[in-house]
């Protein structure tokens, strides 16, 4: 009977079943160049400064738009930016790619760029995600490895085809083979060119 139940389950899935598709993708050279130019523009620099300032204001208990959420734990730190004024659909996407481009300047290597589409409870969530790692190499086997700030993921989330939020998360290695991670505040300063 299990065979028949499995077959019927595939033919007539329950309403609560989840659909999930994951794929790798790339950003074209033209888009990379356009985003680099935008990040250097007055608009791009102003938006980066606004998010950086709003992050620090949030820590002080002040909320400004776009709302920045602070993520803090012993092994992971980060922030999320809600899709609110002054963000537009275009600047939202530019910011995602631009933050990804900035990781190379911090000494990171891109491990992946993927897109995950999930359908659950009548809602479709699309997550585009960059994943970066520090260059993990030690000069000799007796010295500790520099993890920089830790591993970094940058996500752009859409709900029902509408921009929702951007999230940057830094996860540290808690292993004796690695030097302690550099402070997250320094990561923020360098990512947002405020150092």
| Predicted confidence (pLDDT) at residue 145 exceeds the cutoff of 90 | no
Structure tokens, 65: 């738009």
Q: What is the DSSP string of the chain?
A: -HHHHHHHHHHS--TT--EEEEEE----HHHHHHHHHHHHSHHHHHHHHHHHHHHHHHHTT---SSPEEEEE-SSEEEEEEES-TT--HHHHHHHHHHHHHHHHHTT-EEEEEEEEEEEETTEEEEEEEEEEE-----SSTTSPBP-TT-EEEEEEEEETTEEEEEEEEEE---STTBPPPPPHHHHHHHHTT--
Instruction: State CA 180 to chain mean position distance.
Output: 22
- Cβ count near 184 (within 10 Å): 18
pLDDT of 18: 72
145 vs 161, more confident: 161
Q: Is this model's pTM higher than 0.75 or not?
A: yes
pLDDT of 160: 95
Q: How far apart are CA 170 and CA 133, in angstroms?
A: 10
User: Tens digits of per-residue pLDDT, 146-190?
Assistant: 899 999 999 999 999 999 999 999 999 988 888 999 999 999 999
User: Tens digits of per-residue pLDDT, 8-44?
Assistant: 566 666 655 578 899 999 999 999 999 999 999 999 9
pLDDT of 188: 97
User: Tens digits of per-residue pLDDT, 112-137?
Assistant: 999 999 997 889 999 999 999 998 76
User: Tens digits of per-residue pLDDT, 66-116?
Assistant: 999 999 998 999 999 999 999 999 999 999 999 999 999 999 999 999 999
């Amino acid at each position: 009977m299990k065979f028949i139940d499995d077959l019927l389950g595939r033919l007539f899935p329950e309403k609560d079943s989840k659909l999930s598709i994951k794929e790798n993708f790339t950003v074209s050279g033209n888009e990379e160049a356009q985003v680099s130019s935008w990040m250097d523009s007055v608009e791009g620099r102003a938006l980066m400064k606004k998010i950086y300032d709003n992050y620090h204001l949030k820590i002080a208990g002040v909320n400004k738009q776009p709302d920045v959420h602070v993520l803090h734990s012993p092994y992971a730190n980060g922030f999320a930016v809600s899709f609110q004024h002054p963000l537009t659909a275009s600047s939202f996407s530019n910011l995602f790619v631009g933050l990804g481009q900035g990781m190379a300047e911090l000494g990171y290597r891109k491990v992946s760029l993927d897109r995950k589409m999930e359908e659950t409870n009548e809602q479709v969530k699309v997550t585009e995600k960059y994943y970066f790692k520090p260059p993990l190499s030690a000069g000799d086997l007796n010295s500790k490895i520099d993890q920089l700030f830790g591993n970094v993921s940058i996500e752009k989330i859409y709900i029902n085809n509408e921009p929702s939020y951007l999230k940057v998360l830094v996860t540290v290695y808690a292993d004796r083979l690695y030097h302690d991670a550099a402070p997250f505040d320094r990561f923020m300063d360098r990512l947002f060119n405020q150092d």
